[in-house]
């Protein structure tokens, strides 16, 4: 899908493609939802300073954010924009080494795949889902 000329597509088609990707990705996500929720909770606990630097109140990060992030992922939807933003910011803190979050290599032909950020996105996401977190703090 990265080979599609995204810049020339209308915004409504972008939204339609998002719906297709979500539709096909949901069963896979459901298999790993609990594990992802646990990883994101740990990320909040390990990267408190990063989240505070991103604008979150230190009390929120310390006392509430781990549970908010965990319950939002487990619930399959966010009840508020703040809960969704907490999940997004936590995920960004987890994969901070990735240089281009708008580029997806999942569907790309292996012969045409470009290297980037030491392959952080290509191996990082799969390994996180299967029990190894390369972004964990020592």
* Three-state secondary structure string covering 97-138: CCCCCCCCCCCCCCCCCCCCHHHHHHHHHHHHHCCCCCCCCC
Residue 115 has pLDDT above 50, yes or no: no
Give the rounded percent of residues in the chain with a pLDDT score beyond 70.
Answer: 53
**Distance between CA 15 and CA 8 in Å, rounded?**
14
Distances, alpha carbon 118 to alpha carbons 81, 98, 132, in Å: 33, 9, 17
Average pLDDT (69-88) is: 85
User: What tokens were used for 66?
Assistant: 């781990």
- Residue identified by tokens 């979500």 is 22
pLDDT tens across 91-110, in order?
989 887 565 666 666 556 55
pTM passes above 0.95: no
């Amino acid at each position: 899908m990265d080979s599609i000329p995204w810049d020339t597509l209308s915004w409504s088609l972008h939204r339609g493609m998002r719906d297709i990707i979500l539709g096909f990705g949901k069963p896979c996500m459901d298999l790993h939802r609990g594990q992802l929720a646990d990883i994101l909770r740990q990320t909040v606990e390990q990267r408190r300073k990063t989240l505070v630097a991103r604008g979150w109140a230190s009390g929120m990060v310390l006392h509430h954010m781990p549970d908010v992030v965990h319950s939002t992922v487990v619930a399959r939807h966010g009840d508020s924009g703040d809960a969704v933003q907490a999940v997004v910011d936590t995920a960004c803190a987890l994969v901070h080494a990735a240089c281009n979050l708008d580029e997806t290599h999942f569907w790309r032909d292996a012969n045409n795949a470009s290297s980037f950020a030491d392959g952080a996105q290509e191996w990082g996401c799969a390994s996180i889902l299967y029990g190894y977190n390369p972004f964990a703090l020592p």
